[in-house]
Amino acid sequence: ETGVTQSPTHLIKTRGQQVTLRCSSQSGHNTVSWYQQALGQGPQFIFQYYREEENGRGNFPPRFSGLQFPNYSSELNVNALELDDSALYLCASSFLNRGNTGELFFGEGSRLTVL
C-alpha cells in the first residue's frame, strides 16, 4: 500500500501571498488531518476532513482552509501569509471508524518559509 505523500517539499513565499499544499492519503484511508509544526515545537492541529467535509478545527484563523476530494486527497490553502506561518506542514491520513484507535500516518511534510 502507498504511504502519505505531500507536495511541494519546500517552498518560499512572501508576506501577503497565498499558498496551496497538497496531500495524497494512504490507500484505504478516508480521513485527512493537517498539522502545523513550528521550529522546535510539537505539531498543532489545524483541521480534519472526513468524507469531504471539515470534521474538526483547531485554533487557526479562517485564512487557513482546506479541501478533501473524492479520492481522499487533500489541499491546505493559506491566504494572506504572515511571517509566523513559516513552519513544517504535516498531512496525516487515517481510517475513521467508531471503535478504532484513530492511528494517524504522516507524510514527510511541506516546509514553508515566509519572507
Distances (CA, A) of 45 to 15, 70, 80, 81, 115: 23, 22, 20, 18, 23
Q: Specify the residue for cell string 519572507.
A: 115
Residues 6-65 that bind other proteins (CB under 8 A): 31, 33, 35, 40-45, 48, 55-56, 58
* Cis peptide upstream of residue 43 (ω within 30 degrees of 0): no
Q: Is residue 35 a contact partner of residue 46, using CB atoms and an 8 Å limit? A: yes
Nearer to other proteins, 20 or 55 (CB): 55
Whole-angstrom CA distances from 35 to 45, 68, 71, 93, 110 are: 5, 15, 20, 11, 11
Whichever of 14 and 27 has its CB closer to other proteins, that residue is 27
Q: Which is nearer to other proteins, 35 or 72 (CB)?
A: 35
Nearer to other proteins, 81 or 92 (CB): 92
Binding mask 81-110 for other proteins (x = CB under 8 A): -------x-x-x-x-xxxx-xxxxxxxxx-
Q: Which residues bind other proteins (CB under 8 A)?
A: 31, 33, 35, 40-45, 48, 55-56, 58, 88, 90, 92, 94, 96-99, 101-109
